[in-house]
Amino acid sequence: MKGYLYKTIKILFPFILGGGILYWMYRGFNFQEISQIMLHEMKWEWMILSFIPGILAQVFRGLRWHQTLTPMKEEARISTCIHSIFLSYAASLVIPRIGEILRCGVLTNHDGTSFTKAIGTVLTERLVDTILMLLLVTSVFLLQIHVFIDFFDITGVNFTHIFSQFTSTGIFVTVLCLVCLGIFTYLLIRHMVFMRKVKSIVHDLLEGIFSLRQIRNKWLYFSYSIGIWVAYFLHYYLTFYCFSFTENLGIMAGLISFCVGTVAVIVPTPNGAGPWHFAVKTILVIYGLTASEAVIYALIVHSVQTLLLIVLGIYALVMLCFQGKRTGHSTPISSKHISI
């Protein structure tokens, strides 16, 4: 009973959190203004054009994933990798973060790949993407630090006040706790490795995590990784030209709002709904938009791009049904692999 309650809360909480933020932002808002802009003022050709890099970003993900699986003798089809990526993003709209597990399950069921090795490669992907995101955000932060200072002031974040609360003893205790946590985690993992029941699983998982070392063409992998983020940015930035109040903001405004929005989607809500709107709206207001214009932009762009994810997910589901499973390679997945 407790397990079902926990899972129910885990599923509902992101929707409640995202919905609460959206309600707070759009309470009392005149939604007829949005329909007026979408039907009569918006330049839809730019929105449609932005779909191309948006789709390419996911295709690059699929190609990069296929590249990491190949050296491990996992014979996944490129089409399956790409379709599973499409499906994973659509699924994450229903249950945040479930997409990473789902796409590994799709690959296992359709192409017979190792589920644990696939999960390991996904963890490696996330590490690479996190490093690239941090490099991008840090670079933009250093170049436009005054904009971020304004953002923190508006959102009420005061780092000086936060750090001033730590005494030397508090810092020592915090560091000590982190060290103890690290040692405990190491001992726990070491103990798990020597457990006979999970030995093979850990081996496959680690093989997937360290798959980067086995990739033959690392420059191609790097190119895919850069291409993903360039495509994501263009998917976002091209939408500036859809509206008269954002088309002249410039690429730097697009880059900063993109970075802040990317960090905001870490909050586990469906496709970042709520946190993304708030972060992007705040940055655009700093760049001179009215609050009304900023929330209109955020709501329309996020809604249309979310709809694109749904369409791609449905397309992938249909294509996977027609594609069928690779005969002789099927490896069933136990229910524990897809638990949430």
**What contacts 11, CB < 8 A, 6 or more positions away?**
95, 340
- Alpha helices by DSSP H, listed for the chain, are 2-26, 31-36, 44-69, 78-91, 98-111, 115-143, 145-155, 159-164, 168-193, 199-209, 218-237, 251-264, 275-286, 291-323
Query: Residue 113: how many CB atoms within 10 A of its CB?
Result: 26
Per-residue H/E/C for 248-263: CCCHHHHHHHHHHHHH
Contacts 24+ apart (CB under 8 A), 197-202: 201/116
Distance separating alpha carbons of residues 295 and 282, to the nearest angstrom: 9
Look-up of token digits 């998982």: 205
Give the chain's domain count: 1
Please report, in tens digits, the pLDDT of each residue of the chain (340 residues total): 556 665 666 666 666 766 776 777 777 777 777 888 888 889 999 999 999 999 999 999 999 999 988 887 778 899 999 999 999 999 988 887 788 889 999 999 988 888 888 888 888 888 888 889 889 888 888 877 766 676 666 555 454 544 444 445 445 445 555 555 566 555 555 544 444 444 555 555 566 566 667 777 888 999 999 999 999 999 999 999 999 999 999 899 899 999 988 888 887 777 777 888 888 988 898 888 888 899 899 999 999 999 999 999 999 999 998 887 765 444 444 444 444 3
Residue 219 located in a structural domain? yes
- Contact by Cβ (8 Å): 330, 112: yes
Instruction: Quote the domain boundaries for residue 226.
Output: 52-338
For the record, the structure tokens of 176 come out as: 């000590």
- In this structure, the number of other CB atoms found within 10 A of the CB of residue 308 comes to 19
Judged on CB neighbours under 10 Å (0-12, 13-18, 19+), 107 is buried
In a domain, 246, yes or no: yes
Residue 264 within a domain: yes
CA dihedral 179, 180, 181, 182 (to 10 degrees): 50
Helix axes 145-155, 251-264, angle to 10 degrees: 50
**294 located within any domain:** yes
**pLDDT at position 266, please?**
80
Q: What does the alpha-carbon distance between residue 126 and residue 131 come to, in Å, rounded to a whole number?
A: 9
pLDDT of residue 319: 93
In angstroms, how far is CA 257 from the centroid of its own chain?
A: 16
Question: Would residue 187 count as lying in a domain?
Answer: yes
Instruction: Give backbone dihedrals phi and psi of 7, rounded to 5 degrees, phi first.
Output: -65, -40
Whether 35 maps to a domain, the answer reads: no
Of 104, 107, 122, 93, the closest CA to residue 311 belongs to 93
DSSP one-letter code for 326: P
pTM of this prediction? 0.76
CA dihedral 314→319→324→325, nearest 10 degrees, is -70
- Please check whether residue 16 is in contact with residue 273, taking contact to mean a CB–CB distance below 8 angstroms: no
Contacts 24+ apart (CB under 8 A), 95-99: 95/11, 95/340, 96/14, 96/268, 96/269, 96/270, 97/268, 98/340
Instruction: State the amino acid at position 104 in one-letter form.
Output: C
Angle at 206 between CA 208 and CA 84, to 5 degrees: 30
Residue 251 lies in a domain: yes
Position 31 in a domain: no
Beta-carbon contacts of 308 under 8 Å, excluding residues fewer than 6 positions away, are 51, 54, 55
